[in-house]
Amino acid sequence: MRSTEGVYYSRLDHVRAFAAYLVFVWHFLHMTPNFPVPYASAPPFPFALLDEGHTGVALFMTLSGYLFAKLVGAHRVDFPNFLWSRAVRLAPLLIVVIAAWVVIEWLAGRPLAWTDIAGGVLFPTWPRGTWSITIEMHFYLLFPLLLLLFRRQGPFALLTVVAGALLLRFDWWRSFGEAQHIAYWTICGRIDQFVFGMLFALVPVRREVLRMVAGVSLVAFLILWHAFDRMGGFYNQTGAPSTSALWIFIPTAEAVTYGSLIAFYDGATFRMPAWLDRALAKTGEYSYSIYLLHFFPIVLLRDVFWERAGHASPSWPSCRWRDCPIIISRSASWPIASPICARRRRERCPRRRTSFPS
C-alpha cells in the first residue's frame, strides 16, 4: 500500500489481501440459497468468519480509516488533492465495472434502473460490490471534519460520534424492527469502523496494552460471530432480512476488533519469509480490482453451472474459476488504473504540531 508521498506499508497490503479473501469466500459460498453452502448452514468454530465473510467489508473500511489517519498524522490535509487522488484511484475501474453490469443486466432482460445508477453517489444502489464505494466516498467527505474534531477536542470527541451512531441504529431498530439495513448498507453503520481505524492510528497505545486489546477483542468477536452465524447470520437462514438486535452493535464490535488487530499487526516486529510477504502484498495491491471483478466469474458460475444443473457439480469449474478474480484483476488494473494513478497528487501539507486538550 503506497501513498502519494511514496511511503509503502506492505503489512497493510497483507490486511487488504485478507479482507478481499473474506469477501470472495463469502460470495463464493453463498451464490444461491442452497449451493454450494446453504444459508441455514453453520460451520464449526471459528469458521463462521468465512461463512459470514461479509465482515471483510468492515475490515476494508476500518483499514481505510487507519491508513488515511496514519498517512496524514499531524500534517494538514490538502483536501482538493485528497479527493482528486481518491477519484483517480477508484473511479476508472468503478466506471468500467458499473457499465459492464448495466450491459450484462440489460442483455439478461433485467435492466438496472437509471435512478439506481444516478443515485448511487448518495445511496448504496450501485450493482454488486460497487455499492460499498458509495460509503467510502461518504467517509472521504467526512474525513477532514473527523480529523479536525480529533485535533481540537481529542479522541473522546470521535467516540461521541460512535455513540451517536449507536443511538441512531437503536432508534431505527425500535422504529422499524430491524437494524441490518442501516448497519450494513449505510455510513450510519460504517462510521464506527472508519472512526476506530482513525483512533488506533492516531492515539498512542503501549504495545502490551494493544496486544491485550487485540487478543481479547479477537476472541470475543469470534465467539460473537459464531453465535451470530448460528442465529441465522446475514441471510437469517432463509434470505429474509435479519431482525436481530445484534445489528445495532455489530459495526462497533467489528471496528474495535479490526482496528486493534490492524494496529498490532502494523507495528509487529516479527518477520515472515520474503516470498510470503511479497505474495500477500501483491494480492493486497490488487485487492480493489479483486473486490470489484470477482462477481463476474461468480455470477457466471451461478447462472451457467449451478442454477441450471440444480446441484454443485461438476466441481472442476469452481476450481478453475476461483483463480479468475486474481487473474482478471491483475490484467485489468494495469491498463485501467495504473496510468491514471500516476496522476495522483500529494495529499498532505507540511507537518504541524498537534496536542490534545487537557
Whole-number pLDDT of residue 1: 52
Tell me which of 219-223, 234-238, 350-354 is least confident: 350-354
- Domain range holding 41? 28-270
Q: What is the pLDDT of residue 240?
A: 81
Tell me the CA distances in angstroms from 90 to 130, 144, 178, 330, 333, one per residue in order: 10, 19, 32, 15, 11
Residue 309: pLDDT above 60? no
The pLDDT value given to residue 10: 86
pLDDT band (50, 70, 90) for residue 36: confident
Judge whether residue 318 has pLDDT over 50.
no
H or E element that contains 347? none
Task: Give the residue among 12, 19, 2 at the shortest CA–CA distance from 291.
Answer: 19
User: In this structure, is residue 308 part of a structural domain?
Assistant: no
* pLDDT (0 to 100) of residue 329: 44
Give the DSSP letter string of 292-333.
HHTHHHHHHIIIIIITTTSSS---HHHHHHTTHHHHHHHHHH
The neighbour count for residue 80, using CB atoms within 10 Å, is 10
In a domain, 256, yes or no: yes
The verdict on residue 302 lying in a domain is no
Predicted local distance difference test score (pLDDT) of residue 348: 57
Tens-digit pLDDT profile for residues 256-268: 999 999 999 999 9
| pLDDT score at 45 | 94
- The grid coordinates listed for 117 are 445508477
- The pLDDT tens digits for 162-211 are 999 999 999 999 999 999 999 999 999 999 999 999 999 999 999 999 99
Residue 319: pLDDT band with limits 50, 70, 90: very low
Average pLDDT over residues 4-9: 63
Domain assignment present for residue 89? The answer is: yes
Our count of domains for the chain comes to 1
Q: What is the pLDDT of residue 111?
A: 94
Average pLDDT over residues 209-225: 97
Given a cut of 70, is residue 322 above it in pLDDT?
A: no
Residue 322 CB-density burial (10 A; 0-12 exposed, 13-18 middle, 19+ buried): middle
In angstroms, the CA 34 to CA 200 distance is 40
pLDDT at position 333 is 46
User: pLDDT class for 358, splitting at 50, 70, 90?
Assistant: very low
Residue of 250, 282, 251 lying closest to 1 (CA atoms): 282
The x, y and z cell numbers of residue 338, run together, are 495504473
The answer on pLDDT for 334 being more than 90 is no
Which of 170, 339, 149 has its CA nearest to residue 250?
A: 170
Distance (Å, rounded) from C-alpha 19 to C-alpha 57?
7
Q: Is residue 166 exposed (0-12), middle (13-18) or buried (19+ Cβ within 10 Å)?
A: middle
The pLDDT score that the predictor gives to residue 40 is: 85
Shortest CA distance to 289 belongs to which of 92, 56, 4?
92
pLDDT above 50: residue 354: no
Q: What is the mean pLDDT of residues 252-280?
A: 95
**Choice between 344 and 57, residue whose per-residue pLDDT is larger:** 57
Is the model's pLDDT at 353 over the cut of 70? no
pLDDT at 263: 97
pLDDT classification of 317: cutoffs 50, 70, 90: very low
pLDDT above 60: residue 328: no
User: Does the structure show a pLDDT above 50 at 79?
Assistant: yes
Non-local (6+) Cβ contacts of 157 within 8 A are 149, 150
Higher pLDDT, 333 or 56: 56
Q: Does the pLDDT at position 91 exceed 50?
A: yes
In a domain, 95, yes or no: yes
pLDDT score of 341 = 52
Q: State the average pLDDT over residues 204-228.
A: 96
Q: For position 2, what pLDDT does the model report? A: 55
Domain-located, residue 311: no
Residue 278 is assigned to a structural domain of this protein: no
Q: Is residue 334 part of a domain?
A: no
For residues 254 and 191, give the distance between their C-alpha atoms in angstroms, rounded to a whole number.
11
Residue 224 pLDDT exceeds 90:
yes
